[in-house]
Amino acid sequence: MVVTKSIDVARIRDLVAAGAVDLGENRVQEATEKRAQLAGASLRWHLIGHLQTNKARRAATGFASVQSIDSERIGFALADRRPAEDAPLPVLIEVDFTHGAARTGARAEQAISIATAVLSRPSLTLRGLMTVAPMGPEPQARAAFVRLRRLRDDLEQDLGISLPDLSMGMSVDFETAIEEGATIVRLGTVILGGRPADR
């Protein structure tokens, strides 16, 4: 997945021409505007940033998946706004292992209650888990990826379901994430270089 946060539409068109299909966005409004400008392109947009309940209606109809469910409340808001005629929306539970004030994501011990809530809503389909590794040395990132994989395995056993997706790993740590079982990596800088805000 190519992360296109803060990337202008002209550069995204180049990505599409090069074969990119899955695009990750952090903000609902920004993704909505880009999607309108790129109407007609065969793209799958994925929400990978924190979702607020007041943006749930747009998120429920504008994305191929939402990878940042971090509470039962957000899950229910998204489910209630998914049109009944649409196929169930694939979602992932975002888990935070850092407990930093600036981080979003549920605590590991909350994952089972969130998963149960999501599974109770037929308008959603739970695909797996997502995390952002802590900044720091590679062993710290690896430890987070291992914890996410083990948490996924525990949820599969406890709930009797398959959770095939592990969204983990970004430009700085995606190789480690793949080694630890990532099925989705979220790549921005390694493909696109520094974003305007980074310069």
pLDDT score of 148 more than 50: yes
pLDDT-derived band at 198, boundaries 50, 70, 90: very low
State which H helix or E strand residue 92 sits in. Answer: strand 89-94
Q: Is residue 113 within 8 Å of residue 72, measured between CB atoms?
A: yes
Q: Is residue 91 within 8 Å of residue 65, measured between CB atoms?
A: yes
pLDDT at 197: 53
Nearest residue to 95 (alpha-carbon basis) of 70, 127, 66, 124: 70
pLDDT score of 52 more than 80: yes
Place of tokens 């998204």: 78
What are 166's strand-pairing partners? 129
Cα–Cα distance between 134 and 96 in angstroms, integer?
Answer: 9
Cα–Cα distance between 42 and 36 in angstroms, integer?
Answer: 13
Cα–Cα distance between 170 and 185 in angstroms, integer?
Answer: 6
Digit-coded pLDDT (tens) for 57-110: 999 999 999 999 999 999 999 999 999 999 999 999 999 998 877 788 999 999
pLDDT at 196: 60
For 141-149, what is the mean pLDDT? 97
Instruction: Record the tokens describing residue 189, joined without a space.
Output: 């800088």
For 114-118, what is the mean pLDDT? 98
| Domains observed in the chain | 2-198 (3.20.20.10)
Cα–Cα distance between 106 and 120 in angstroms, integer?
Answer: 18
Q: Record the pTM.
A: 0.94
